């Protein structure tokens, strides 16, 4: 099942403490945060005289006046600040403590080597490595031609020719040597010394011999 691109992007943006700034594909960004601190300041207070003035109409200056004093009080203050944090760069997400590339499409027969870039396994092609090599082509990028004679095909991964029965590897250009037949000329003729068809092994009996294996005399 292909991984959801949105989920992986969310993982890429997730803050993490396991990344190192020297690691590949790791970027630094500034994160805003708030802090609450306690600050002190002086606040004025008025102290009334201990004795009240009973006859202020005679001489108000003789009455004791309120005294202003300053006391230390505390208040909660919220401040905005910022700090550096690490995250995977754009197009990458964190996996097992490393930032790996993100491909929106699954690399069906390959692996993701850069953001939205698949590296196909030999014999596969296409943006998501889901298409086999075209006939007559092979290699990691399906950009190499098969060098196989007689319209023979080749392995899309290794370029090895698939020689039809009766033709000799490696390039399918020569018929099987005398005394051999079949795919890749792997079988011995069973004709008691007579030659055989390089494709199916049918015996070519010389004069004086007959039968499927040239053992009968007419």
Rounded mean pLDDT, 121-150: 90
CA gap 165, 9 in Å, rounded:
53
Rounded mean pLDDT, 149-176: 92
Rounded mean pLDDT, 149-173: 92
Residue 165 host element (H or E): none
CA gap 38, 75 in Å, rounded:
6
- Minimum mean pLDDT range among 1-5, 29-33, 122-126: 1-5
What sign does the CA torsion over 132, 136, 139, 144 have?
negative
CA gap 157, 120 in Å, rounded:
11
With 70 as the cut, is the pLDDT of residue 30 above it? Answer: yes
Q: Which of 133, 170, 122 is nearest to 150 (CA)?
A: 170
Kindly report, residue by residue over 19-28, the tens digit of the pLDDT.
888 889 999 9
With 50 as the cut, is the pLDDT of residue 8 above it? Answer: no
Q: Which domains does the chain have, with CATH numbers?
A: 1-22+85-102 (no CATH), 119-162 (no CATH), 164-218 (2.170.300.10)
pLDDT band at 58 (very low <50, low <70, confident <90, very high): low
* Token representation of residue 110: 């390959």
Backbone angles phi, psi at 5, to 5 degrees: -60, -40
Which DSSP string do the residues of 38-105 spell out, in sequence order?
A: EEEEEEEEEE--SS--S-TTT-GGGSPPPEEEEEEEEEEEEEEEEEEEEEEPTTEEEETTEEEE--SS
Top pLDDT among 177 and 7 is at 177
Looking at residue 59, its pLDDT comes to: 60
CA gap 143, 177 in Å, rounded:
33
With a pLDDT cut of 90, the percent of the chain lying above it is 46
Looking at residue 110, its pLDDT comes to: 93
Q: Please give the model's pTM, rounded to 2 decimal places.
A: 0.51
Top pLDDT among 160 and 2 is at 160
Looking at residue 1, its pLDDT comes to: 40
Looking at residue 4, its pLDDT comes to: 46
């Amino acid at each position: 099942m292909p991984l959801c691109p949105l989920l992986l992007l969310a993982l890429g943006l997730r803050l993490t403490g396991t990344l190192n700034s020297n690691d590949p594909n790791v970027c630094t960004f500034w994160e805003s945060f708030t802090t609450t601190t306690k600050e002190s300041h002086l606040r004025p207070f008025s102290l009334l005289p201990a004795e009240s003035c009973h006859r202020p109409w005679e001489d108000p200056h003789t009455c004791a006046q309120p005294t202003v004093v300053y006391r230390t009080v505390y208040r909660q203050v919220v401040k905005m600040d910022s700090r550096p944090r690490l995250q995977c760069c754009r197009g990458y997400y964190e996996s097992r403590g490393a930032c790996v590339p993100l491909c929106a499409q699954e690399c069906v027969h390959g692996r993701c080597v850069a953001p939205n870039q698949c590296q196909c396994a030999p014999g596969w092609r296409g943006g998501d490595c889901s298409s086999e090599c075209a006939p007559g082509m092979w290699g990691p990028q399906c950009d190499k031609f098969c060098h196989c004679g007689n319209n023979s095909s080749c392995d899309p991964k290794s370029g090895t020719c698939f020689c039809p029965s009766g033709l000799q590897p490696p390039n399918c250009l020569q018929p099987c040597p005398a005394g051999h037949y079949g795919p890749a000329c792997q079988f011995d003729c069973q004709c008691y010394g007579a030659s055989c068809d390089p494709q199916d092994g049918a015996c070519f009996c010389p004069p004086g011999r007959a039968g499927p294996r040239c053992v009968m005399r007419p």
